[in-house]
Amino acid sequence: MNPLDSLPLVLVLVLATLTQVFFIELGFRYGIRKGGTKAVKNQMAQVRAIMGASLGLLAFMLAFSFSMAQQHFEQRTQAYMLEVSAIDSAFRGADLIPADSRDEAKSVLIQFAEGRLALTKAAKEGDFDQVIQMVRESERMHDRLWKIAESAMEGSGGGEDTGIFAQSVLAMINAHDQRLQAALFNRVSPIIWLTLFLMSLLSMVVMGYQAGLTGHRSGLATWTLAITFSAVMTLITDLDRPNMTLFQMNQGLMVELDNRMQDEVNRDPVSRQP
């Protein structure tokens, strides 16, 4: 897990802003000490060029990191959509397997959908021990569904129709693996984070140094720049971590699927929900 995952988003914004303002102040004070000499005045153009280049490069790195975090968010969303579709297909495909296994398969699928909703709630609350237990329980349900699929394929009803259920179960397992990959492993590299923070701090030092050489600075400009860059870093942090605060993945599709499956089971005079 990334160390930033455990920090509240507001705290990330405040710490990033104060740190950048602090380094601007360091650069300003150093510039004040060096200012006033003819040699330093002749270097003003060079310092301005370096400041512009460093801020431009920092903006590029922020855009690059934001794009990467956005792609990771989209991958999590796509994996979620694939899982909803696979559960729906498996539930429909359960009607094609032998009757003695049909009720159990539908019951497990409903439990799986409800477990997914509970897992999302636990993740929002930061209960990661519970999340791990629920992930393991989901994998055990995958095993149960696959055994049902194997039994259906080997029985007298084995054939293309029962294969539809087996393929849907495999799609569920694949979507589950993709969600784990997207949530836990597709992250912005710590090296990129370190480079981004170092570039940010060095850029703030150069900006403060340039202001110190002139002997004048604007508090409004200082805080505006620090807050702007810090806000973008905060957005990247939230997009990149699984337990997002500002960006929420809509669980409406899973809720609707769960309700529809339960309604169908309750309407079926043969099937009974456990």
Please report which helix (H) or strand (E) contains residue 41, including its range: helix 38-42
CA 230, CA 204: separation in Å to the nearest integer?
Answer: 12
Q: Which positions ≥6 away from 78 have C-beta within 8 Å?
A: 178
User: Residue 272: what pLDDT?
Assistant: 44
CB atoms within 10 A of CB 89: 17
Domain residue extents for the chain: 3-267
Stretch 193-217: mean pLDDT, rounded?
A: 89
Side chain identity, residue 228: T
CA 146, CA 92: separation in Å to the nearest integer?
Answer: 15
Supply the mean pLDDT for the chain. 85
Radius of gyration of the chain (CA): 27
User: Residue 233: what pLDDT?
Assistant: 92
For 6: left if phi > 0, alpha if psi spans -120 to 50, otherwise beta; the answer is alpha
Q: Are 91 and 261 in contact (CB under 8 A)?
A: yes
pLDDT bracket for residue 214 (50, 70, 90): confident
CA 239, CA 248: separation in Å to the nearest integer?
Answer: 9
User: Residue 47: what pLDDT?
Assistant: 83
Q: Flag whether pLDDT at 79 surpasses 70.
A: yes
Q: What is the DSSP string of 146-195?
A: HHHHHHHHHSTT-SHHHHHHHHHHHHHHHHHHHHHIIIIIS---HHHHHH
CA 204, CA 51: separation in Å to the nearest integer?
Answer: 9
pLDDT bracket for residue 199 (50, 70, 90): very high
CA 182, CA 112: separation in Å to the nearest integer?
Answer: 20
Higher pLDDT, 211 or 273: 211
Report the percentage of the chain scoring pLDDT > 70. Answer: 90
CA 27 to mean position of chain CA atoms? 35
CA 88, CA 136: separation in Å to the nearest integer?
Answer: 21
Report pLDDT digits (tens) over 3-15: 667 778 899 999 9
Report pLDDT digits (tens) over 111-125: 999 998 888 888 777
pLDDT bracket for residue 155 (50, 70, 90): low
Q: What's the burial of 212, exposed, middle or buried (CB within 10 Å: 0-12/13-18/19+)?
A: buried
| Total residues belonging to the chain | 274
User: Residue 111: what pLDDT?
Assistant: 93
Q: If DSSP codes are grouped into helix, strand and coil, which group holds residue 51?
A: helix
Q: Are 107 and 274 in contact (CB under 8 A)?
A: yes
pLDDT bracket for residue 227 (50, 70, 90): very high
Mean pLDDT comparison of 69-78, 105-114, 180-189, highest-scoring range: 105-114
Stretch 25-54: mean pLDDT, rounded?
A: 79
Q: Flag whether pLDDT at 109 surpasses 70.
A: yes
Q: Are 212 and 40 in contact (CB under 8 A)?
A: no
**Ramachandran angles phi, psi of 139, nearest 5°:** -70, -35
Lowest mean pLDDT among 32-36, 52-56, 164-168, 171-175: 32-36
Q: Quote the pTM value.
A: 0.77
CA distances from 9 to 24, 72, 245 (A): 23, 18, 7
Stretch 242-266: mean pLDDT, rounded?
A: 83
